[in-house]
Chain A
Amino acid sequence: MPTLPLISHRDPDSIVAWRADGAVTRRRFLSDVAQLAARFPAGAHLLNLCRDRYRFSTGLAAGIVSGKLSLLPSTHTPGVVRQIRDFAPDVFCLTDSDTDTVDLPRLRYPDLDAEQPHTAAVPQIARQQPVAVVFTSGSSGVPLPHAKTWGALVGCVQSEAGQLGLLQRQPCSLIGTVPPQHMYGFESTVLMAWHNGFALGHAQPFYPADICASLAAVPAPRVLVSSPVHLRALLESGLAIPEIATVVCATAPLSMQLAQEIENRCNAPLMEIYGSTETGQIATRRTAHTAQWQLFPGITFEREGERMRACGGHVETASTLGDVIEPAGDGQFLLLGRITDMINIAGKRHSLASLNHLLNTIPGVADGAFYMPDDVDSAHGAAPERVRRLAACVAAPGLSAADVLGALRQHIDPVFLPRPLLFVDALPRNSTGKLPREALQALFRNRNTRLTHD
């Protein structure tokens, strides 16, 4: 059976991670993985909540070597955790925080013995072994699972490092502002380090000053894996940014202008990544120079009516993409907008149909609809990094705004909560029961509507 190693670091003393107290060698990492795997309960499914990226990576590796599937839902609200438990009744969670309140059997990340010797070779993992399940929000409100095999994930991040131009350098240090629990951070801050001999930084810096401190704490060449929201904050902070070799950005559209400003400030190329939950990463571009994306080697598009399917390379199951794609030859293409009803707020995605479904299943809501206002700022040339918010209107006599928001909060990430939430006597449906976008626009323009229920 064809296999691939757990990590590609060639030497027992190769550095696989940087923690607050210094470097972690391959030897120490494999010892930590073996110790952690020995403490795992019997369940075959793992929800890895560790906030420290090194602990997350150790939990992931311990799951892989003991044949457990890591589940990666897009959020950890009580409603989604219930759905995860329905999907995998034996699931347990690994946590390194006392403030996690997830209602599942828990394993607290233990203190591991740093002196415990590890002499065994790097574990070999079958290419066909499923190691993770990522979820997209289905239109019915039930998350849809997508299993990822070891071979597909490794193939993806090997291509990624080449596309990002990171293979000619000394082993890089990766600093991520994005969580390892989401596909982009999972691939670009953990697996890319594992399979290109890089070292991952343990921190997940948040404020601009934290990002600078985390970068300064690891050796060059440094790669900053981030998002438009964090990069804009870093730029506007005016702080002196430590030397960076490459900036990587994904999750939401980045304007050419912001990309150029970041390149100038960091004196480094900024590479933007395109992908989907189903396919993983499939293309990159240097946004400061071009609007055209370049597909990863081996990946091609097949036309399917109005839409495009990605196949080949690390994409094991040809997947229809949710974007309007205009091929430009030689594996290049332009993105011309979304086809599906997927809402993207600061990199978090949710189906609009699913949000509407959740809203209408709240007891006491007679009718309700979410609405994404037009991107007025972008239309006037402003940067799209300013985060747009959803609005919603409901007919819910007897409920308060707090009731509706509280019910939604049980199921969806807070970034999708509506601002504003309008209470109306009836939604502006037409005679066929449809809700024309123009009618919703008019409703929200007319802000004399009462904002809260009397």
Chain B
Amino acid sequence: MHDNPLSTGTGAASLQREVAALMIESLNLEVEVDEIAPDSPLFGEGLGLDSIDVLEVALVVSKRYGLQLRADSADNQHIFSSLRTLCDYIAAHRTC
């Protein structure tokens, strides 16, 4: 179903909607897909996620896209800075 990693503008937007929906479902967030702006922070004053949410989303994302998240730098929250950074990571590492 997802043989071709999405790299076009439309593809990126579609992946962002899909991942936003996964986050909302796995975390029971009370927002709509359209309310998660691609570049607004997922932590703090943005969506208000914390490290426990990150582990939860990481599990769902690992299973859905066949990848393992790694924190190569000391800042393990970089991948989760925004919906866009998360989706860029997924697009670059997904296997399904």
Q: How far is the CA of A239 from the CA of B49 in the complex (A)?
A: 25
Query: Within the complex, what minimum Cβ distance (angstroms) separates B84 from chain A?
Result: 20
Q: Which B63-85 residues have C-beta < 8 A from chain A? A: 68-71, 74-76
Q: How far is the CA of A87 from the CA of B72 in the complex (A)?
A: 36
Known: A51-B74, A345-B52. 16 other contacts (CB 8 A): A52-B74, A96-B74, A205-B71, A206-B76, A207-B71, A207-B76, A209-B68, A233-B59, A236-B59, A239-B68, A409-B45, A414-B49, A419-B28, A419-B30, A419-B48, A420-B30
The answer to the question of A430 belonging to the interface, with a C-beta cut-off of 8 Å to chain B, is no
Given A409-B44, A414-B50, CB of A237 within 8 Å of CB of B62: yes
Query: Within the complex, what minimum Cβ distance (angstroms) separates B32 from chain A?
Result: 12
Residue of B nearest to A230 (CB): B55
- For chain A, the bracket of interface size reads 20 to 34
Residue of B nearest to A205 (CB): B71
- For chain B, the bracket of interface size reads 20 to 34
Give which listed residue, B28, B49, B68, contacts A237 with CB less than 8 A: B68
Chain A residues lying within 8 Å of B71, measured Cβ to Cβ, are 205-207, 210
The answer to the question of A208 belonging to the interface, with a C-beta cut-off of 8 Å to chain B, is yes
Residue of B nearest to A406 (CB): B45
Chain B residues lying within 8 Å of A239, measured Cβ to Cβ, are 68
Give which listed residue, B30, B45, B54, B75, contacts A99 with CB less than 8 A: B75
Write the A369-397 contact mask toward B (1 if CB under 8 angstroms, else 0): 00000000000000000010000000000
Residue of B nearest to A99 (CB): B75
Query: Within the complex, what minimum Cβ distance (angstroms) separates B75 from chain A?
Result: 6
The answer to the question of A65 belonging to the interface, with a C-beta cut-off of 8 Å to chain B, is no
Given A239-B68, A406-B45, A409-B44, CB of A206 within 8 Å of CB of B51: yes
Q: How far is the CA of A417 from the CA of B59 in the complex (A)?
A: 22
Q: Which A220-275 residues have C-beta < 8 A from chain B? A: 229-230, 233, 236-237, 239
Residue of B nearest to A414 (CB): B50
Q: How far is the CA of A233 from the CA of B50 in the complex (A)?
A: 15
Residue of A nearest to B75 (CB): A99
The answer to the question of B58 belonging to the interface, with a C-beta cut-off of 8 Å to chain A, is yes
Q: How far is the CA of A213 from the CA of B68 in the complex (A)?
A: 12
Chain A residues lying within 8 Å of B75, measured Cβ to Cβ, are 97, 99
The answer to the question of A451 belonging to the interface, with a C-beta cut-off of 8 Å to chain B, is yes
Give which listed residue, A230, A237, A405, contacts B48 with CB less than 8 A: A405
Q: How far is the CA of A233 from the CA of B54 in the complex (A)?
A: 11
Q: Which A193-218 residues have C-beta < 8 A from chain B? A: 205-210, 213
Given A99-B75, A206-B71, A207-B68, CB of A233 within 8 Å of CB of B58: yes
Given A51-B74, A207-B58, CB of A415 within 8 Å of CB of B30: no
The answer to the question of A402 belonging to the interface, with a C-beta cut-off of 8 Å to chain B, is yes
Residue of B nearest to A212 (CB): B68
The answer to the question of A346 belonging to the interface, with a C-beta cut-off of 8 Å to chain B, is yes
Chain A residues lying within 8 Å of B50, measured Cβ to Cβ, are 413-415, 417
